[in-house]
Chain A
């Protein structure tokens, strides 16, 4: 009897303890759902106005949407992510000022930015000095010159796109004599440097190379075309942003020049098709797979599903189709938050930087990111596809 009493007492005690711990657990869970843990702060500097406005706006949209979705699903181990976004107005000085404010007043663990190469370089200087990891969305080659310890980037650069275009010329078109026409702005010059340096490794010869200016008239550009045609090229490679490539396409058609036209990722937009009209048909250019992901990726593959998810979420939130720049923003915040998930929410900037550098096989919108100590670009030529304009639509080219 006495024995039984003790046993009952012990059982009751155990049940009480179990209930207590369950209650405590439930309490914990409630706390986690509301993400009242200390937020992780990430600074963002973008060009929401000024010349790079068409880049900065979609980048901001993507970053905000990404963070909203992340926090709704519990943040990073219960810690919500907070982004503090500043506009640099496409101006290097303002970008520098903005990043200093973020680092000194907001106590951010990493920064994203900027949209253009100039402001990105200004930010790089500060981030390198203060040891804060920076993920940029600009493609200028000179960003990765000098000390690259603290800077990473998301868009493909002239190196990947140039190699992809040269590979297409040599392996699919199977011709050798390349005439290069490039815009003398930063975008075109980066492409020219890559093409002239890499052509020989693809067995190609650049037989003529001419630079034009962004605002040149149709006649002026025609003269450049006339000049390069005297070298009897077998393909014309055009490296520039609108409208120059559209004028060249139109002029080639007008003059009855029937050799293939290969462009750069600078014309991976609807505007080129609008500007060049009929003459756009037959033009081939390298672009991220996202541009025509339904046509080049297998449904069910991780890349396809990732882009589809992004596409649907972005459309639903903003009522607009996704574009490359929104993708660059999405990838930038993805890379930082994935590294934070691995290293833990209380990581120092140094630990976070090391973890970003260890990013491997991370599926993003622009391709699969692999960073290493030597390579902070992350992408490879295989992340791009060659796209052909057929009846004013984008289709996979060759192959």
Chain B
């Protein structure tokens, strides 16, 4: 038990870092869901693009890291926009379910694309600031500060976007009632485009900052964890993602740590934490922790 408490600072730091990534991905799920009603299963692949583009620009092309990171996020956002125009827009009259299934197709396509250009098991994306620092009971990489800082910045910016800008308010209006939004002159299809661009940018940022390693296969895990976080926080509740991401990130470190160190059960299947949490939340609080009761729409 003592060992467990001694490890706790490290668990909390690790959980925070992962939680921040889940927040970024989960916010992407939520933005698309609120403005279109679509659950975008290619969200995890945006993170893959973010990581692989950052590698290509910073390592293969030799650009300075800040520039490479910005360009990688922009390129990923462009892919998000292109996906919306090429695939989602033509399906706008076909119903939400059709579009959701189409996103599964996009996810497979993106992953294959990643594998064609970056076939190796992993690529090292340079850290913004290499090195680590030690806190009492925990060693944390400097990248951790960037992860937390970027997440806080994104959350604050999104808050202002949704509450203070015309485009943000229009997107929220779409989520409340699409038909009414059309009637008051909001261009719903343009909002759908914006939401994909924004979600792709967030996913891309999570991918390039996440870990020093990117690979074509990383999208699935990012997608599953981000989706879980968004459901736990309340699907469609943009800031529920913050709670959902942190809860998932922390529980994922604390529960296996407790099982291993205190009970001596060796558990290699940490992924089960996310699955169990998802099932428990869906059974007992389907609207999510901060839910808006939007789940019935699905």
Contacts and interface: CB of A to CB of B under 8 A. Distances in A.
Given A219-B17, A222-B10, A209 B266 contact: yes
A220 B217 contact: no
Contacts of B14: 219-220, 222-223, 226
Of the candidates A182, A212, A255, the one having the most CB atoms from chain B within 10 angstroms of its own CB is A255
Given A220-B252, A254-B139, A210 B260 contact: yes
Interface size class of A (residues with CB under 8 A): 35 or more
A208 B253 contact: no
A335 interface: no
B256 interface: yes
Contacts of A114: none
Contact of A208 (B252, B266, B271): B266
Contacts of B261: 227, 230
Output the residue of B15, B121, B141, B221 with the most chain A CB within 10 A.
B121
A282 interface: no
Given A220-B18, A226-B257, A271 B221 contact: no
Contacts of A230: 3-4, 6-7, 261
A254 B268 contact: no
B221 A213 contact: yes
A214 interface: yes
Contacts of B13: 219
Contacts, number: 107
Contact of A215 (B15, B217, B253): B217
B18 A219 contact: yes
A218 interface: yes
Given A208-B266, A219-B18, A254-B141, A54 B119 contact: yes
B18 A211 contact: no
Contacts of B3: 230
A184 B266 CA distance: 12
21 contacts: A53-B119, A54-B119, A184-B268, A184-B269, A210-B268, A211-B266, A212-B270, A213-B271, A215-B217, A215-B218, A217-B18, A217-B21, A219-B211, A219-B253, A220-B253, A223-B11, A223-B256, A226-B7, A226-B11, A230-B3, A243-B213
A97 interface: no
B139 to A, nearest CB: 4
B212 interface: yes
Given A215-B215, A223-B257, A246-B122, 16 more contacts: A208-B260, A210-B267, A211-B269, A212-B270, A213-B221, A215-B218, A216-B270, A219-B253, A220-B14, A223-B253, A226-B11, A242-B120, A243-B215, A254-B132, A271-B122, A275-B124
Given A220-B18, A254-B132, A212 B268 contact: yes
B210 interface: yes
Nearest to A192: B268
A8 B2 CA distance: 112
Contact of A54 (B120, B132, B257): B120
Given A217-B21, A218-B211, A220-B14, A243 B221 contact: no
Interface string B196-229: 0000000000000011110101101100000000
A247 interface: yes
Name the 3 nearest CB pairs between A and B, nearest first: A211-B268, A243-B122, A219-B14
A103 B139 CA distance: 58
A254 B138 CA distance: 11
Residue among A211, A227, A230 with the highest chain B CB neighbour number at 10 A: A227
A226 B211 contact: no
Interface in A85-115: none
Interface in B261-279: 261, 266-271
Nearest to B219: A215
A153 B217 CA distance: 29
A255 B121 CA distance: 25
A223 B21 CA distance: 16
A200 interface: no
A134 to B, nearest CB: 27
A227 B256 contact: yes
Interface in A183-235: 184, 208-220, 222-223, 226-227, 230
Contacts of A159: none
Contact of A226 (B10, B122, B132): B10
From B18, B144, B210, B266, name the one whose CB has the most chain A CB atoms within 10 angstroms.
B266
A222 B267 CA distance: 15
A151 B14 CA distance: 46
Given A218-B211, A243-B121, A254-B141, A213 B270 contact: yes
A157 interface: no
Contact of A247 (B10, B139, B211): B211
Contacts of A271: 120-122
Nearest to A220: B18
A219 B3 CA distance: 19
Interface string B1-39: 001101100110111011001000000000000000000
The interface centre, meaning the residue of A212, A226, A256 with most chain B CB atoms within 10 A of its CB, is A226
Contacts of B6: 230
